[in-house]
Structure 1
Amino acid sequence: MPTRTAYDDELGDHFARHADTSPYNAYVDRPAMLALTGDVGGDVGGQRILDVGCGAGHYAAELLSRGAEVVGIDGSSTLLDHARRRLGDRADLHRHDAEDPLDFIDDASFDGVICALMLHHVANRRQLLGELRRVLRPGGWLLISTTHPTADWRRFGGSYFTDDWVDLPLAGGALSIRYQRMTLETFLGELLDAGFSLERLVEPRPVPSLRDVDEAAYHKLRQSPSFVAVRFRRP
């Protein structure tokens, strides 16, 4: 079980810096998730979007630039400080632990929800998914990305079907993040059980521009999956 889900203090500062240019964040997950946002052609203009685990505000900044209204929540005061410096007063940001109900948010009050690379940190995922369904309007969309179960299997070994909590050392080894491994069956099953309808699943590859920045990382990430990104709809 996790002792914490938020990236606070030194870990939060590290993540905020890393997410700016990391091949995994800036060239794989973020482009894939943003391509799945909104409706036809990725249009989010005029939509109200909840960014769950908003981190340092990278996704919110892009959604705002496309004309969305964004509410962001994160359990880390460190990351929210970074987000406020990036976004100013353009987004409504709240410190909130994703293990707790979203009781400050009204029913059916959002057109879309984005939840990038944070669900695997949450122990009470079923409660969170139920809350996300509640705050979405009928017909609203939900985007979630998580670690690819095959990548975790290659990294940690053991049984593919384990649901162990693991610690992943970050660059240099002094810091680590803790999350729960889950199979693709578990990941999709929990979302379907929460009452969402699957529209699309992608296994993100790096965008071509990474080749000019880090050719070795580009070829590595073209050959081995890192994340799974899905788009669901609330019926």
Structure 2
Amino acid sequence: MSSGNAYHGEVGDHFARIADTSPYNAFTDRPAVLDLVGEVAGARVLDVGCGAGHYAEALVERGAVVTAVDGSATLLRHARERVGDRAELRPHDLETPLDFAADGAFDVAVCALVHHHLAAREQLLAELLRVLRPGGRLVLSTTHPTAEWLHHGGSYYDESWVEHRLPDPSLSIRYRRLPLETLVNEWLAAGFTLERLVEPRPLPELRDVDAARYEKLCAEPAFLAARLRRPPS
């Protein structure tokens, strides 16, 4: 993600620590995103805002050739520990163009739980359209607008930046509330075709790990995930 809103220092360490087993990451968002990605054996995949390398690891294990970028040196360190030299890992501020990548360089792009942290969302979408080959797909996930409304209150249509406190009250992350119409219209305006939209439910296995969180995530959406397609010509 952007260097300004990336998970630096203790926040990055916290995220890397919980993402292995979190009900939200391991049991809800990640399975949904990887399902939308589908078959990637031999595909050139760009992992945009790769975090601690969980998606990059899964994509490599599926046979993809992965380039993974993030604005946090902390998270890239964790990603290197996870994937080693099996993927190309590079620092990049996602508020700036993807100038390291040629037009049509990738078959697939994955942008998991990054979009809402960015100010230059339209620029990133335009860049992702550029670096994907014609017919290539972008799989994107973000916080669910309804979840943000339930948590923060006020107007559902509020698009303000918010600070979300982590369990350690000294740590927080910053992101923007975005209603559904803003999200979808930005994707379409960038030139993508919306192929599939998902409100991820948790894996059934979560019931045995955390029954209360499982019931909550089955009743209240936490994330929104989409598979977008660059038109073939």
TM-score grouping bracket, smaller chain normalisation: over 0.9
In structure 2, the partner of 1:10 is 10
Pairing partner for 1:94 from 81, 85, 90: 90
In structure 1, the partner of 2:127 is 131
Q: Counterpart of 2:207 in structure 1: which amino acid?
A: R
Pairing partner for 2:146 from 146, 150, 153: 150
Structure 2's unaligned 5+ residue stretches are none
Match runs of 1:1-235 below 5 Å: 4-37=4-37, 42-235=38-231
Which string of whole-angstrom CA distances, capped at 9 and with x for unpartnered residues, describes residues 130-171 of structure 1? 000000000000000000000000100111111100011111
Which string of whole-angstrom CA distances, capped at 9 and with x for unpartnered residues, describes residues 77-113 of structure 1? 0000000000000000110000000111100000000
Aligned equivalents of 2:167, 2:28: Cα separation in 1: 18
* Aligned-partner SS, 1:205: coil
Aligned equivalents of 2:177, 2:88: Cα separation in 1: 31
Aligned residues: 230
TM-score, normalising length from structure 1?
A: 0.96
**CA shift at 1:3, angstroms?**
8.7
Alignment RMSD (CA, Å) = 1.0
Aligned equivalents of 1:57, 1:96: Cα separation in 2: 15
* Aligned-partner SS, 1:158: coil
What is the identity percentage for the equivalent residue pairs of Structure 1 and Structure 2?
62
Q: Counterpart of 1:99 in structure 2: which amino acid?
A: E
Q: Which runs of 4+ in 1 moved over 4 A?
A: none
Structure 1's unaligned 5+ residue stretches are none
